Amino acid sequence: MPSGHQIRAFRFGPFEADLISRRLRKCGRTVQLQDQPFQVLLALLDRPSELVTRHHIRQVLWPCGLNVDFNHSINNAVNRLRAALGDAARQSHFIENVPRRGYRFVGPVERLSECDEIGLNGLGKRMASMHSVPEKARELYLKGRYCWNRRTPDALSSAGARKL
């Protein structure tokens, strides 16, 4: 990734974690995830294949040193994250437990810069960067553009038939 470009999102498997909207998506659809599990996910994605200690997660979740039951709260956040990812602890595809030490994100992670757009290629990248465009409208635009570019009679009529 060229230097000077800030990370906008992480992509792993069918998921994308958008740092700007602070949303997790699976195949383009939003997955419900509370703030603390999302913060844990970002800490893990920032250091894929590396051990992220429980102490580091504690600092991420409670930077001011709040007085809470850290172990229980960290376990709860990781369990909610695993549930959102559909990632069972015993057969993990994403989050490896390192007993009494922390967690490790396993699997390839792609970092997307502000110049990359989530889930899109080519001209659609620039169109998707307009945050005022509703997700459904953007999806329909891209489907219509795809059909239009195929330039077959059926594809052209399909491109014009898309409705919101």
The lowest-confidence range among 58-62, 85-89, 157-161 is 157-161
Q: What would the mean pLDDT of 83-111 be, rounded to a whole number?
A: 91
Stretch(es) of the chain classified as CATH 1.10.10.10: 7-111
More confident residue, 126 or 37: 37
- The reported pTM is 0.66
* Residue 64: count of CB within 10 angstroms of its CB: 5
Question: Which CATH architecture fits 7-111?
Answer: Orthogonal Bundle (1.10)
The pLDDT of residue 2 is: 47
Q: What would the mean pLDDT of 117-139 be, rounded to a whole number?
A: 55
Is the model's pLDDT at 68 over the cut of 60?
Answer: yes
Rg of the chain, C-alpha, whole Å: 19
